[in-house]
Amino acid sequence: MMANIIEFRGPALVSAHEERQGLWSVDGTLTFQRPASAPDRVLEGWVLPGLVDAHCHIGLGAGGAVDEQATLLQAQADLEAGTLLIRDCGSPGDTRWVQQRTDLPRLIRSGRHIARSRRYLRGLGHEIEPDELVETVRKEARDGDGWVKLVGDWIDRSIGDLAPSFPARTVKEAISAAHNEGARVTAHCFGEDTIDHMLDANIDCIEHATGLLPRHLARLVEQSVPIVPTLVNIATFPDIAAQAAPKFPDYAERMLRLWDGRRERVLEAFEAGVSIYAGTDAGSVIKHGRITDEMQELHDAGLPPAAVLHAATWGARAWLGAEGISEGASADVVVCSEDPRRELATVAALKHIVIRGKVVR
């Protein structure tokens, strides 16, 4: 049988500072060795590893789990944007079937959100009390693909403001339990104190991180804890504040303050050396297929194009244990018409998308 060969004519961006000429896909595998046979197709442009959405919710809708057809449309929307690797950050549905589809993005599952009773969006997560946290985390650690998702804080209506979901000591015990199961833990964190609790508990990642303060930055670097800012989601905070203001003015004021400082916090983290990865939070509110919007948001916050690309390609893939552009790697790449290190906007209009050696576009 004849091999399926694609030739990429243009720089292959192996990293932010390394490019190579002469890249092919042979039967879905990348190689820098010229094949003996002529290519079936030639794609010209700057080649990047497939984009990564490091905070996404495949199979999740506004009210909870969605059916397979809706899940398929979500995954296809991400694919069309060049997202070829997704770290799921909580879904109430069983999306293992997505992982069996070679025409859809690769998916790393986190199981279901773990939240405090009556302190999260209905239908999305396990809603539990503190004495149930450790065992629930153990279960989700075994059920997912090496990640567990906690809802670290949410509005506490009894005080009318954000508050941590679980006691700090219980969180520490739960994260230790996940680590014993071989899983990493990430947490939804809007508020300031929640980040302290998570760092004290040896968390592995912070989602949103709107409450970052100078005291957190050195600890994030020292403990090698990255953040996934999800700025396209944080853009919804003014609407949340407007809805909450009549009953919960303190909460509304805080959400507006966190929104107002969102870009400054991300830039401070970047300048301090905190690892940052791109994630959209697509699912319940945010539409799928918006990874390049998130990349632009990170750039608008002050990150240079190379750092943004690192957050959505090379760096994110290495962090998640996924292949990039290397000999023998899966041919999961995107092709830009211009050098994205100089013109970041080119990623929003990709020339070509290739997944497992199949040209999608």
Q: Which domains does the chain have, with CATH numbers?
A: 5-48+324-359 (2.30.40.10), 51-320 (3.20.20.140)
Residue 142 near residue 177, CB atoms below 8 Å:
no
Note the pLDDT tens digit of each residue in 197-250: 999 999 999 999 999 999 999 999 999 999 999 999 999 999 999 999 999 999
Give the strand pairing for 5-9 and 41-44: parallel
pLDDT in tens, 22-53: 999 999 999 999 999 999 999 999 999 999 99
| 298/305 Cα distance (integer angstroms) | 9
Of 348, 359, 324, 305, nearest to 52 by C-alpha is: 324
Q: What pLDDT score was predicted for residue 62?
A: 87
Question: What predicted TM-score, i.e. pTM, was given to this entire model?
Answer: 0.97
| 344: its two tokens | 């970041």
Residues of the chain scoring pLDDT < 70: 1-2
- Phi, psi angles (nearest 5°) of residue 208: 75, -65
Spatial separation of the C-alpha atoms in residues 59 and 99, rounded to whole Å: 12
Q: Please identify which residue in the block is written with the tokens 């609407």.
A: 239
Given phi > 0 = left and psi -120 to 50 = alpha, else beta, which region is 155?
beta
Residue 220 CA to residue 60 CA, distance in Å, equals 30
The answer to whether residues 186 and 207 touch, using CB atoms and an 8 Å cutoff, is: yes
The gap from C-alpha 59 to its chain's centroid, in whole angstroms, comes to: 15
Give the Cα separation of 34 and 98 in Å (integer).
33
Contacts of 206 (CB under 8 A, 6+ apart): 186, 187, 189, 195, 198, 220, 225, 226, 227, 228
What's the pLDDT at 63?
86
Distance from C-alpha of 208 to C-alpha of 241, rounded to nearest angstrom = 17
